[in-house]
Structure formats: structure tokens, C-alpha cells
Amino acid sequence: MSAPQILLKSFLIYLKLEKSLSPNTRLAYERDVQKLISFWQMKGFTVPVSALTQKNLQSFIHWLAEVGLNARSQARIISGIKSFYRFLLLENIIENDPTELLDLPTLGRKLPVTLELDEIDAMIAQIDRSKAEGERNKAIVETLYSCGLRVSELVDLRISNIYAKDKFIRVVGKGDKERLIPIGSYALKQINLYLKHVRAHVDVKRGFEDYVFLNRRGRKLTRTMVFIIIKDLAQRAGIHKTISPHTFRHSFATHLVEGGADLRAVQEMLGHASIITTEIYSHLDKVYLRSEVLLYHPRSKSRKLKNSPGEADDLHIVD
């Protein structure tokens, strides 16, 4: 094993044991560092990967752009590289962090895709409840929307972590951090129907007894299967947005903020480490409010004014 690969292996062990990151997150970090190692090998640098300078790493960023990666992808990769060098600094392998003053690509703020309530109802209406998986799939949609779960949190949900009397569920999020989330009556009712009438008749395989959502073979439902279920329902409902299980998480947060929920409370329910991440939904709410003003306010350009052309010109409306 080459020196860079040894460092990478140590970094991945650190992410698993010290940072308690999920396998998917560790894989993403591994890919980021592997890209840097590929760049290092391609350039034939005489210094070790651990000794690359800020200038070297800036060249790496330019290379990412040259191979066609957009600014958002570049920023994600650089985030992984920064974590790698912070690890090297922590382990006293390097004395200075060359990523500290890296110039990052400028990112626009991308607003998440959300669903309206009638679109969610339209997707639910496509579920064939005459089939055994129908009750399960309805419970999945209701739970995603009611609790704003990540898909990994949904598939890992345990029966023992549903507190029906108190209307809370306990989930394990990123970094193995636990949190309690209120669960609505619609979702609770549907989970109960699924557990009682469908799951009770499944031949549950050993080790999966406590998982809520199972496949027909009695094993835990996979993330991929949940994606397929949601994509299929969206297509059947005639929804042309780019929909995934995460869309329900965005919709959950957006609808709460639109309804006046405190941003800190939404942060807690989503399990965001920083309020900055949650603030995107506040911004989304402002966009919604602005669109409403433009549509309905009598002084708005977007409204079909009943004034004559001359009168409209005199208003001097500014968007």
C-alpha cells in the first residue's frame, strides 16, 4: 500500500471511530481524497500528498473545474479535502493546514424543491392499498412528511423507538446523534395499520425484528427501494418536479416555517448541527411571500392591472 493510501486508510478509521460518520459519508470523503491522490499522481509531485502547499491545492481546484465539475461539486470535494488535512494536523503529520486559506468557488444559493400539500395527497392517492406493500408505502410517505426524516433515518426506524402515547419517535441521525421528533396522528395511524395488518404476517428474518419497514423477504427496506417507491408515485401522480424522499424533508420544514414555526424548533426536528443550514427554509418562505405580493398586490407588475397604459406608466413600480 502506497503512502497516500496509508494516510487515507488512517483518515477513514478516524472518521468511523472518532467522528462516528455513516458509511455513506465516509465513502464520500474517501472519493474526495482519492481525487486529490489521482491529481497528485498525474502531476508527478515530488513531495508527499501530506506536504502539498496551498498553491498546489489551488491548482487541484482549477483541475476540478477543467474536468467539468460544477461549483457545488467542487465545494463538496474541497470540504472533504479540508477534513483530511485537519486530520493530518490533528495527528501531527503536518504542522500547518494548507487548506485554511483556499479560495473556494462562489456558490449561488440553491433553493430546495418542495411539494404542495395537494401534490403529496395526489401521490398518496396513487398507492394501491389492495396490495400488501400499499399500506407500507402509505406509512412511508406519511412518516417522511410528518417527521421530516432523512431516508437513512426512515429505513433505520425501530418499533421500540415509536412512543405512540406521547406522539414522538426517536431517530438516530448523522454522527449517531439521537433526537426526539413529534409525529402526527395521520402517520401514527398509518404505521399502526401497517404493523397490524401487513407486517404482522411477514416472515421476519433474524436481526430485523425491531425494524418498522420491511421488504417482502422480511428484511429491512433499503434506501434505494424507498427512492424507487417515491419516484414511481410522483410519476403516477403526474408531478414533473425532481422528487426524492428528501423532498418530503424539505416540504416538512418549508410548511412549518410558512406556518410560523420557530426556526430553532425546526432545526431541532431536522437534526441540523447549525442554524445556518435551517435558514434556507426561512429564505424559501421569503421567496413565497414575495411571489404572493407580486401576484396579488394592486401595485405589483405581476398583477394584471386594470389601469390604462398611461396610468400604469405613471405608477413607476420597481420590483
Q: Which residues are catalytically annotated?
A: 150, 174, 246, 249, 272, 281
Say how many C-beta atoms besides its own lie within 10 A of residue 121's C-beta.
11
Q: Is 118 left (phi over 0), alpha (psi -120 to 50) or beta?
A: alpha
Hey, is 246 helix, strand or coil? helix
The string of DSSP codes covering 188-212 is: HHHHHHHHHHTGGGS-PPTT-TTBS
> Long-range contacts made by residues 1-6, C-beta under 8 angstroms, separation at least 24?
3/48, 3/49, 4/37, 4/40, 4/48, 4/49, 5/37
Output DSSP code: residue 110: P
H-type helices in the chain, by residue range?
3-17, 23-43, 54-66, 71-90, 117-125, 132-147, 151-155, 185-197, 223-236, 245-258, 263-270, 275-296, 309-315
Sign of CA dihedral 156, 160, 165, 166: negative
**How many Cβ atoms from other residues are within 10 Å of residue 30's Cβ?**
17
Q: Please answer whether residues 315 and 299 qualify as being in contact, where contact means their C-beta atoms are separated by less than 8 angstroms.
A: yes
3-state secondary structure of 182: strand
Question: Angle at Cα 201 formed by Cα 195 and Cα 203, nearest 5°?
Answer: 110
| Contact predicate 76/31, CB 8 Å | no
